[in-house]
Chains A and B, each alone.
Chain A
């Protein structure tokens, strides 16, 4: 055993010498070597410490290569396989299912419950709901969102949904690659634009989306959506406020941060960062798309008269007074009061619909 221990002592001495010269780095770097030397004494041929080194390497000055680039001195990264399992597995499968299920729920709701109609007849008197600026900001955000959503879907699901349509022909591959390239580039350039639009949206709409005590009551009754009772709300109801804070605020921040990291690999971030960020981005995106479908449904065919408020052509952002009274009663009263008029009595609107 003498020879071995001498050799070990030499390695230790060398390690100590290096540790003194290069304090932190050397300790970290030589740790694997030391562990390997010790492992060979207790378990010959068990090379686990070497394999740990092989998978690490970043920041290790004793693991080198002549090739410059991202993590070029890392010999093997096994996290890529984990990322593949997660992205091609749950993210694709459950993400796809999630989008389909939300779409089905909306479809089912529309079929069973039908659009929420006005209970009283429209008055023909209009109240201004959104200014030109508010509508411009909304549509800039909405359109850039839709571009991101569609192009993102092509990147995530296109291989499984669009590509098979062409039956794997050479022509089909060419067409799909063209679609994917457009999607990817649109996504990567519209992404930063979306961040600008969403920020403007936040600043413009935040004051009407602050949480009020009456919003709890609205939420408790699910806005009267299911049983039809009337629940008053401010300019935005609690559902819209949840969409604002959870969607526009929280999910946008998550997507913006992860999106920018993905969009600018030129800062040299490593693969582990990209893998993590990609999964977070994809999950947040799928949730965002799901909630957005609900929002789009309610804003268009789901609730009669709502779309008027956001019209770009054929409207100036005004809604009928009946709509205002039935859907945003507190706001309606404020607006009418500011005009120095008596608000019309709530009347039939207070009664359940059915």
Chain B
């Protein structure tokens, strides 16, 4: 069985927020809740990089471990889903998650946050596939339709990849080994000249 994963290629992301918009649209997500966001590092400086981030469907998920009511479950494809009917809105999953993925519809005075909402990898929830209840709580179930997540499918530069981990890893690997052409040709290196000496040899076993 495939292990579903997201992969964000910071060399390609142009911070268009298409994935964010696609997600909100696909699942009819209310204001204030964002299952996906794009973070830009060194905004406006040389070396600026953007990365799209949402729930990464962790193998040993911290959210799952801390939830006091055990609402999370994992599909056979490694997608981390949750049962909103059981959620008590304590916010613990948000404290534990490395990526700030869990979201809440209310501001939380007296701990009233409402039911947690997060990226489902477009795989819905525990309700029957394509049911009205499933759509209302979790949005569309594209996985059951045989499709991949809307964000990755919509990504104009294909910076965001979503799907079988082996397949997207291969795509990324082929990109990484053919890099050093394209935009880099007319980038800073060209404008200010190439280094005279070759950069230090790559340490053995280093990842590209």
A binds B: yes
Verify if B45 is at the interface (C-beta below 8 Å from A).
yes
Q: A75-B99, A84-B62, A278-B95 are in contact. Are A65 and B38 (CB under 8 A)?
A: yes
Check if A75 sits within 8 Å of B47, measured CB to CB: no
The stretch of B108-116, B130-138, B139-147 that contacts the partner chain:
B108-116
Check if A65 sits within 8 Å of B68, measured CB to CB: no
The stretch of A5-13, A101-109, A127-135 that contacts the partner chain:
A5-13
- Which residues between 74 and 91 of chain A lie within 8 Å of chain B, taking CB atoms? 74-78, 80-81, 83-84, 87-88
Q: Measured between C-beta atoms, what is the minimum distance from A147 to chain B in Å? A: 15
B193 to chain A: closest residue by CB: A3
Check if B195 sits within 8 Å of A3, measured CB to CB: yes
- Taken together as a complex, chains A and B put the C-alpha atoms of A25 and B88 apart, in Å, by 39
Check if B108 sits within 8 Å of A44, measured CB to CB: no
- Which residues between 289 and 323 of chain A lie within 8 Å of chain B, taking CB atoms? none
- Taken together as a complex, chains A and B put the C-alpha atoms of A10 and B51 apart, in Å, by 25
Q: Please, which residues of chain B bring their CB within 8 A of the CB of A75? A: 39, 41, 51, 53, 99
- Which residues between 152 and 166 of chain A lie within 8 Å of chain B, taking CB atoms? 155-156, 158-159, 163
Q: Please, which residues of chain A bring their CB within 8 A of the CB of B119? A: none
Verify if B170 is at the interface (C-beta below 8 Å from A).
no
Q: Please, which residues of chain A bring their CB within 8 A of the CB of B34? A: 67, 69, 72
B61 to chain A: closest residue by CB: A84
B60 to chain A: closest residue by CB: A81
Check if B68 sits within 8 Å of A180, measured CB to CB: yes
- What sequence of 0s and 1s flags, for each residue 40-80 of chain A, a beta carbon within 8 Å of any chain B beta carbon? 00001100001001100100011111110111111111101
Verify if B85 is at the interface (C-beta below 8 Å from A).
yes
The stretch of A170-178, A198-206, A212-220, A326-334 that contacts the partner chain:
A170-178
Check if B66 sits within 8 Å of A11, measured CB to CB: no
Verify if A2 is at the interface (C-beta below 8 Å from B).
yes
Check if B110 sits within 8 Å of A263, measured CB to CB: yes
Check if B41 sits within 8 Å of A63, measured CB to CB: yes
**Chain B contact residue count (CB 8 A cutoff):** 62
Verify if B177 is at the interface (C-beta below 8 Å from A).
no
Interface size on A, as a range, is 35 or more
- Which residues between 1 and 29 of chain A lie within 8 Å of chain B, taking CB atoms? 1-4, 6-7, 10-11, 14
The stretch of A223-231, A232-240, A264-272 that contacts the partner chain:
A264-272
Partner of B110, one of A63, A76, A264: A264
Q: Please, which residues of chain B bring their CB within 8 A of the CB of A209? A: none
Check if B69 sits within 8 Å of A3, measured CB to CB: no
The stretch of A181-189, A249-257, A335-343, A346-354 that contacts the partner chain:
A181-189
Verify if B162 is at the interface (C-beta below 8 Å from A).
no
Q: Measured between C-beta atoms, what is the minimum distance from A293 to chain B in Å? A: 23
Verify if A222 is at the interface (C-beta below 8 Å from B).
no
Verify if A275 is at the interface (C-beta below 8 Å from B).
yes
B53 to chain A: closest residue by CB: A75
Q: Measured between C-beta atoms, what is the minimum distance from B103 to chain A in Å? A: 8
Check if A173 sits within 8 Å of B86, measured CB to CB: yes
Q: A80-B62, A180-B88 are in contact. Are A264 and B109 (CB under 8 A)?
A: yes
Verify if A258 is at the interface (C-beta below 8 Å from B).
no
- Taken together as a complex, chains A and B put the C-alpha atoms of A32 and B46 apart, in Å, by 12
Verify if A141 is at the interface (C-beta below 8 Å from B).
no
- Taken together as a complex, chains A and B put the C-alpha atoms of A299 and B66 apart, in Å, by 36
Q: A33-B45, A65-B39 are in contact. Are A45 and B111 (CB under 8 A)?
A: no
Q: Measured between C-beta atoms, what is the minimum distance from A67 to chain B in Å? A: 4
The 5 residue pairs across chains A and B that have the minimum distance between CB atoms? A177-B86, A67-B37, A188-B111, A265-B108, A3-B193
Give 22 A-B contacts (CB < 8 Å), ordered by A residue: A10-B192, A54-B41, A57-B39, A62-B42, A63-B41, A64-B40, A66-B37, A75-B39, A75-B53, A75-B99, A80-B62, A80-B98, A83-B66, A83-B96, A88-B65, A158-B68, A159-B68, A184-B88, A184-B90, A263-B109, A263-B111, A264-B110
Taking beta carbons and an 8 Å cutoff, which residues of A are in contact with B? 1-4, 6-7, 10-11, 14, 30, 32-33, 36-37, 44-45, 50, 53-54, 57, 61-67, 69-78, 80-81, 83-84, 87-88, 155-156, 158-159, 163, 173-174, 176-177, 180-181, 184-185, 187-189, 262-266, 271, 274-275, 278
